[in-house]
Amino acid sequence: MKAVLTVIGKDKVGIIAGVSQKLAELEINILDVSQTIMEDYFTMMMLLNMDANQDFDGVREELHQIGRTLGVKISIQNQEIFDTMHKL
């Protein structure tokens, strides 16, 4: 299953490393990534490949926890839902 992950927050050292490390621990593969810094704000979007049997809500909660640690907001959605929402 593919998923779309977004990260937004004040820029600081270690955001990409922290998010990538957590995804590796969860055995989630990063297929594509785009990131930019707008003034003092960091934004990143990732396309991920997850095992269809993974507990999506559990993954979401772990990512929210690492987001709190890093001081950023992390959101994850199933790619099909993301695509549908952005076609309207």
- Cβ atoms of 2 and 50 within 8 Å: the answer is yes
Count how many Cα atoms sit within 13 Å of the Cα of residue 73 in the half-sphere of its side chain. 5
30-81: pLDDT as tens digits? 999 999 999 999 999 999 999 989 999 999 999 999 999 999 999 999 866 6
The CA distance from 64 to 75, in Å, is 7
Structural domains in the chain, sorted by start:
1-84 (3.30.70.260)
